[in-house]
Chain A
Amino acid sequence: MAYLEAILINVAIYAIATLGLAIFTGYTGLFSLGHAAFMAVGAYAASILTYFYKVPFLIALLVGVVLSVLVSFLIGYPTLRARLRSDYFAIATLGFGEAVKVILENFDLTQGARGLPGIQKFSTLGNAFLLLAVAVILCRNFLRTTYGRKIIAIGQDPVAAEMIGIPLLSNQLLSLGISAGLAGLAGGLLAHYTTFIQPSIFSMDLSSLITAGVVCGGMGSLTGPVTAVALFVIIPELFRGFALWRLVFYGMLLVIIINWRPRGLFGYEELNRKNLPKLFSIVGITGGLSLFMPTYRWVIESRGYEIFALFVAGVTVGAVTGLFGLLGKGLSLALAPVAERYHSVRSRLGKRLTGLGEENEQALSSIKEHRFRETAPSKKVCPSDATFLAGKAADSKEGLFSGDPNAERGARSAGQHIESIGDAESGGPTYYRETSPILEVRELRKNFGGVVAVDGFSFYLNKGELLGLIGPNGSGKTTVFNLISSVYPVDGGTILFQDKDITEWGPTEVVGAGIARTFQNIRLFGSMTVLENVQAALHREGTYSLLEGFLQWPRSVPRVERRLRDESRRLLSIVGLEKESDRRASTLPYGLQRKLEIARALALRPRLLLLDEPAAGMNPREASELVELIQRIHRDEDLSIILIEHHMDVVMSLCPRILVLNFGRLIAEGTPEQIQGNPLVLQAYLGEKAYAVVR
């Protein structure tokens, strides 16, 4: 019994440590190879307190956790600030792990390499599993908050995360801190279970066990790594004769998993009813295999026939495996009604817990109604009339490559029709609501290794204007966007936004000031759902504290989360994606991914929206829908917009004023008509010879 207890306690301790690494590596995508060092910090801190100072166990554990967190900031701050590539960061943590070990070996208080013997045995099956349960629940809660979503977003695409205003450093540090805290907790528990610690315990071997747990359990999952590491602790016990081969096996497993099943056990999902059979089969196979040798030996001893023994052992393995497989299937089926019941109870309970639920609903629906009334007139006119025309024109245009020259003009006039409706409604041209510049760019300059990408480009954008920015491929348009949104540092010139000089501001500050953008090569958070993509961008409106988030505090978190969800749905409905909200973003077709990017940008409450080729890869029908969408958000959300686009009809029908860029310089500016007639523009687009010919 003591033997079983030992295994189980080890399972709990390593599961806590692995959970820690899972919440860092599994979600941020940064690899730490020094997590054993955080365990060491926790273990030594707690042991020294209970051993020398007789501090109560739980307090000592807590101090160990806090110390681990602080140490993790110490190593994390400089390395994460330097924006090391993921493998350099891994190397830095590796170096840190070794350094901690060497320091422990040469430090008097820790009694050097001899270690600390005689620590009291405080860890029990009860408190270890209790702490594991608490840790799992806290981590799960954390991931379901804005704080958690920020970290997941960073792991998916750091650049896109920054472009929706999520600061990388603080969030990565938060994740590392939680992670180190859990490792410290596991270390403290370990020390008070084994009653003896020395620096060599906290070696790379330990780090690799935890790493193997996260990789094999699956990145982006909590229960996966916990399950995997539990198996890692239990399985070698079943094959005791092969103790030395344990690490050989882990190493091979790492190679096999990462090569042929990079999602691991439950990559990007948690243990649930549907993957229960999978888990049971794995347990069944290992359990069955572990019975092979004992059965074989037992038969040999009692009967003595080798072939018979082999047969019986084989049947036993098969039977156990099959039994577990069936058990898993059965359990999964049996749980189906329970799961349903759970969900319905939970949703009811959730409503009651928030208390104000009903009132909120009412308030919300009244807001919605208000909004609807506001936008009602345009909605009434557009679909019946103009969009219909545009749609029809687009239809005929699609079939038109067989040759109907009037259709293009039809589409064009439909576009104008929409515009004129917009005009009539607001009592003037939609695009000149106000005339003070919201953005002013002076003498902007950027070189890439001697190649001039932007060469003294100056322009202004009026408040509420929809400005077109065109030019041949490679003319520097996207670079201008990248400079405004601070993806690259500016080499020269100034950028004024709402009369503030934002030239030197960082990306998240620029977003905070009210500039949002989309990307030419779509950058969504692929393994998040459509809804979560938008929710992630609403991070600044998650107005509860981190502590409340951890506890999923019923008085604040559910209310705020519901508001964020509703708001995300509203934003999705603006771009017409509300029906897709539960789909994984990466499974959306191209056109819808672009629309989702727009919804995500709108969630940042921008004053200025930078759209980088939103119609690229769209067919004429989709493009004309997009024109309608851009007009709608321009009007309804009170936005200023700069549009980079190659579809000329899109630009011409949307933008009253167009800038033409070539070789990083402004070569023309004016209304669509002026641009179309400008010889310099023709030359830039058609080439000199061709231009000479047509001239």
Chain B
Amino acid sequence: MFIQTIITGLSIGSVYALMAVGYSLVFSVLNFSNFAHGAIITLGAYIAWAVMVHYLQVPFFPALLLSMGGAGILAFLNERIAYSTLRRRRAPSLYLMISAMGVAISLQNLLYATIGAKLYALPPVFAMDVVHIGDLTISKMDIFAFVFSALTIAVLHLILIRTKVGVAIRAAAHDMEMVSVLGVNLDVLVGVLFFLAGSLGGMAGVFMGVKYMVYPSMGWITNKAYIGAVIGGLGSLPGAIVGGLLLGLLEALVSVSSLGGTSLSTYRDVFSFGILVILLIFKPTGFFGRHVEDKL
């Protein structure tokens, strides 16, 4: 039972990590919390719903690719419309955050206003839902989500280590201005960055949709992945992964535990936010975050 909970936790945690990486990628370069990322994740899930259920009956893998591409493009457009002006003006990061909040509010309510608050299910990926290993009953989707998320993050890691654009992104995380002085077109670089973050978000959105449901507030600002990114240390990829996994595990464990007869599952969210607030007080930069010092 315990091991099964751990496996469930790791699985959902890996999807959280996938989302958290998107927050952290953007934060590492532009230094602000991109609250709109959650909305992009949601839209990714809706794209899958539209092509798999509502309009067409596209199979899972093409739909996943469409979602990733669509969410990537949406993230790119999001940056062009809502952030690029501020970025070029070197506005304080607070401004970018407010703009991101505006986008998040707009997009979520756009979904309410057009498609509505109804919950939609995505079709199951596997006909036979579970596998049995000894006493354990594990959902195939859990394993799939875990493996696929891990693979995707590994690919992202390779992109950042091996490709020229990836190295430039890592350099920009330290000093964006200097990167531009070396000849990097920042508009393009930031565009690539948002496309990458967006498509990871799109993939995560589809996984979330398959596991739970598709609904407008699934990626709202207060989502677990964002909290995971903060706990791990915004701007750090290992931090995002650890934070995401940790929250997934915690969520799975709290859901099945009880204290003095009352189930703790209703307090699940209090736990995540509690950890967040405590961590922000004692280690504001998260586990892996870099320390930002005011320079005189």
Contacts and interface: CB of A to CB of B under 8 A. Distances in A.
A, B bound: yes
Interface in B130-169: none
B65 interface: no
Interface in A75-110: 75, 78-79, 82-88, 90-92, 94-96, 98-99, 102-103, 105-106
Contacts of A252: 102, 106
B113 A96 contact: no
Contacts of A260: 85
Interface string A253-266: 11100111010000
Given A211-B98, A248-B113, A258-B99, A78 B106 contact: no
B98 A245 contact: no
B94 A204 contact: no
Which 7 A-B pairs rank lowest in CB-CB distance, beginning with the nearest? A254-B102, A251-B106, A251-B105, A247-B109, A255-B102, A244-B113, A95-B273
A250 interface: yes
B284 interface: yes
B101 interface: yes
A98 B99 contact: no
Nearest to B226: A91
B257 interface: no
A299 interface: no
B277 A92 contact: yes
B221 interface: yes
B281 A78 contact: yes
A255 B106 contact: yes
B222 interface: yes
Given A79-B277, A258-B99, 18 more contacts: A82-B282, A85-B284, A92-B276, A95-B227, A98-B222, A98-B273, A99-B270, A99-B274, A102-B273, A158-B294, A159-B294, A159-B296, A246-B109, A247-B105, A248-B109, A250-B105, A255-B81, A255-B103
30 contacts: A33-B101, A75-B277, A82-B280, A85-B292, A87-B32, A87-B33, A87-B97, A88-B280, A90-B33, A92-B277, A94-B221, A98-B222, A102-B273, A158-B294, A204-B221, A204-B222, A208-B101, A212-B102, A244-B113, A245-B109, A245-B113, A247-B105, A247-B112, A248-B105, A248-B106, A248-B109, A251-B103, A251-B107, A258-B95, A482-B296
A202 interface: no
B296 A519 contact: yes
Contacts of B269: 98-99, 102
B270 A102 contact: yes
Nearest to B104: A251
A91 B33 contact: yes
Interface in A198-217: 204-205, 208, 211-212, 215
A86 B32 CA distance: 10
Contacts of B266: 105-106
B220 interface: yes
Nearest to B220: A204
A99 B278 CA distance: 12
A86 B234 CA distance: 13
A211 B281 contact: no
A29 B91 CA distance: 13
Nearest to B100: A255
A258 B102 contact: yes
Contacts of B282: 82
Nearest to B227: A95
Contacts of B281: 78-79, 82, 92
Given A82-B281, A88-B280, A245-B113, A31 B97 contact: yes
Contacts of B276: 91-92, 95
Contacts of A105: 266
A478 interface: yes
B255 interface: no
A352 B86 CA distance: 50
B58 interface: no
Interface string B260-296: 0000001101100110110011101000000010101
B106 A31 contact: no
B110 interface: yes
B230 interface: yes
Interface string B110-123: 10110000000000
Contacts of B274: 99
Given A255-B106, A258-B102, A90 B222 contact: no
Contacts of A205: 105
Contacts of B85: 259-260
Given A86-B94, A248-B109, A248-B110, A258 B86 contact: yes
Contacts of B292: 85
Nearest to B281: A78
A98 B271 CA distance: 11
A31 B99 contact: no
Contacts of B107: 251
Contacts of B277: 75, 79, 92, 95-96, 99
A51 B85 CA distance: 51
A54 B136 CA distance: 57
A362 interface: no
Contacts of B294: 158-159
Contacts of A255: 81-82, 99, 102-103, 106
Nearest to B275: A95
A332 to B, nearest CB: 31
A262 B91 contact: yes
A426 to B, nearest CB: 35
Interface string B80-96: 01100110000111110
Contacts of B227: 95
A212 B274 CA distance: 27
A158 B94 CA distance: 15
B106 A87 contact: no
A484 to B, nearest CB: 13
B263 to A, nearest CB: 11
A84 B284 contact: yes
A224 B270 CA distance: 36
A82 B103 contact: no
A405 B121 CA distance: 87
B280 A92 contact: yes
A259 B109 CA distance: 21
A347 interface: no
Nearest to B82: A255
A245 B105 CA distance: 11
Interface in A222-270: 244-248, 250-255, 258-260, 262
Contacts of B267: 102, 106
Nearest to B39: A251
Contacts of B82: 255, 259
Contact of B222 (A94, A208, A244, A254): A94
A159 B93 CA distance: 17
Given A204-B220, A258-B99, A259-B85, A478 B106 contact: no
A521 interface: yes
A602 B266 CA distance: 58
Contacts of B102: 212, 250-255, 258
A690 interface: no
Nearest to A31: B94
B270 A103 contact: yes
Nearest to B78: A255
A145 B227 CA distance: 39
Contacts of B280: 79, 82, 84, 88, 91-92, 95
Contacts of B81: 255
Q: Determine which residue in A86, A159, A251, A478 has the highest number of CB atoms from chain B within 10 A of its CB, and name it.
A: A251
Given A95-B276, A244-B113, A260-B85, A90 B103 contact: no
A55 interface: no
A487 interface: yes
A282 to B, nearest CB: 19
Contact of B99 (A88, A159, A259, A487): A259
Contacts of B108: 247
A253 B107 CA distance: 13
Contacts of B94: 29, 31, 86-87, 90
- Scoring A87, A96, A245 by chain B CB atoms within 10 A of each residue's CB, the highest score goes to A87
